[in-house]
Structure 1
């Protein structure tokens, strides 16, 4: 293998922060979830939460093209449970994404939670309606 190529790859890896995101694919849309800071929200501290939505092929689905709602459930979650929070979504810029759904969530206590994002297209047929979930542990 070419030494220049190896050196370039190593430099790229060293210069890239280690950021882990959860990606979920539902129908024809993928959602990349992130909670700041570093997927480790704390009780009583607003955690910026966002989901970058993309269509197959990588085209972004901005909040301006979707009717989305977010709900937060305590876990374990049973059928019929009501959300403990319904954060207001707004279009935000995060990393390389512009206009994606985001919200500040303040978790009330230590424990396990499930975030649920439900979206329908504003323009019929632009994507299939979907619902995706993200599980998170909240610490002290």
Structure 2
């Protein structure tokens, strides 16, 4: 048998302690699961959007993926879907001007993390590859922000 190095022993002890803590403190959800939140932020004019794609920005072809956009105007005020005439389009990465989108998933008002009523949609990417998701919008219902267009690149496995 090979002798363990001090690094291996230390790592093993840390893993053991982590498992021990998780097993003995069941009412500590912050210790029971570790999640990584990946968000991309883009800005267009006076609108910024935090974009998230579930699961973990790692969609698979043929499986539903949920996308959402936390829209904010300058100063941080949230723009709910009811104040935005928003449109979502999905294109292949190497599109040309004038190409029609592969799909235009309908947007619905969803709640995600701390955001309420933000634009979200379910997308099923047809095959593995690189896609561009484009969200554009104009103000409606007495909202006050400039028209915007935001583009995100997504790699589908």
Q: TM-score range by the shorter chain?
A: 0.7 to 0.9
What is residue 62 of structure 1 aligned with on the other side?
80
The secondary structure found in structure 2 opposite 1:42 is coil
What is residue 63 of structure 2 aligned with on the other side?
45
The secondary structure found in structure 2 opposite 1:47 is strand
Q: Which has the larger radius of gyration?
A: 2
Runs of 4 or more off by more than 3 Å in structure 1?
A: 14-17
Paired residue for 2:118, among 100, 109, 112?
Answer: 100
Q: Which one scores higher on RCO, CA 8 angstroms, separation ≥ 6?
A: 1
Answer with 77-86 or 98-107: which moved more. Answer: 77-86
Q: CA deviation at 1:77?
A: 1.4
CA RMSD of aligned residues (A): 1.8
Extract unaligned runs of 5+ from structure 1: 1-13
TM-score, normalising length: structure 1: 0.85
What is residue 40 of structure 2 aligned with on the other side?
22
TM-score, normalising length: structure 2: 0.76
Extract unaligned runs of 5+ from structure 2: 1-30
CA–CA separation in structure 2 for the residues paired with 1:129 and 1:65: 12
Q: CA deviation at 1:72?
A: 0.2
The secondary structure found in structure 2 opposite 1:82 is coil
Instruction: Give the aligned length.
Output: 127
The secondary structure found in structure 2 opposite 1:38 is coil
Higher share in helix? 2
